[in-house]
Amino acid sequence: MKKIIVPIDFSEYSDYALETAAILAKKNNAEILALHMLEISDAILTKNDNEMKMETVFFLKLAEKRFNEFLEKDYLEGVNVTPIVKHFKVFSEVNDVAKEHDADLIVMGSHGSSGLKEFFVGSNTEKVVRHAEIPVLVTKHNPILTDFENIAFACDFSDEAVEPYLRASRMFDSLGSKMHLVYVNLPSESFKSSSEMEGKVVSFLKKANGNLDKLDSVKYVADYTVEKGILNFANVIGADLIAVATHGRKGLAHFFEGSISEDIANHSMLPVMSFKM
């Protein structure tokens, strides 16, 4: 891990993300690309060239000043930080910056508080996750645990999930983490018997790893929603991070199909990392 992108909007949540990225950067001798996306209104963009240039320069200078002040953090001491100010209209363009700089990870903050679905869906974070071709790590509070010793990795063990699984394995191996695989079995049309689940996992691991060495690390959980299954499993193993393989082109709403109960007592406060299928 050499380059980490952190989108900054000056909120406390982007502060949490920046501190998390700083910890990871120090451990991996990585560079942080702090990205502020300056929104310039259509009213300015429709003015004549001279007026638009003057106002654009003014707002860029203002943003750069505020940005530099925001980056004056004690936890960034000793970290190589490159500030980037861009004019974007949509957060999907964060992926363009990631490709341009050959980044390895995007770290974002989120204020979602109603479980894993709302953690992403309907927010700028969800837009980044949907379009990002590299892993996206999302945190909801200031970093408490960033050792990521135990990872709960959820996927559907489909052929599409092989590549994100392999990318996750490489990343977590480099971090010295133990990855626990989980399959959530639902009481619906997608319900599978024990033999069906095991057969699917065996086929998946043979295709991904060429062997069944990881078979004992796979757990089968029965629950009413994918979200509840993942959260309950993460609690049981004492996970430091939840990782998911997602159909990015459809957003995380596709991954979390089904109803989300209002009475889920323990919403995830763990960081969540997505790997696009």
Domains of the chain: 1-109 (3.40.50.620), 143-277 (3.40.50.620)
Residue 195: predicted pLDDT: 93
Q: Is residue 137 within 8 Å of residue 108, measured between CB atoms?
A: yes
The tokens 């696009």 sit on which residue? 276
Rounded percentage of the chain residues whose pLDDT exceeds 90: 37
pLDDT per residue over 204-248, tens digit each? 999 999 999 999 989 999 988 888 888 889 989 999 898 888 765
Strand partners, 249: none
With cut-offs at 50, 70 and 90, classify the pLDDT of residue 36: confident
With cut-offs at 50, 70 and 90, classify the pLDDT of residue 262: very low
Q: For residue 23, which of 126, 148, 127, 120 has the smallest C-alpha distance?
A: 148
Q: Is residue 252 within 8 Å of residue 121, measured between CB atoms?
A: yes
Alpha-carbon distance of 145 to 152, in angstroms, equals: 15
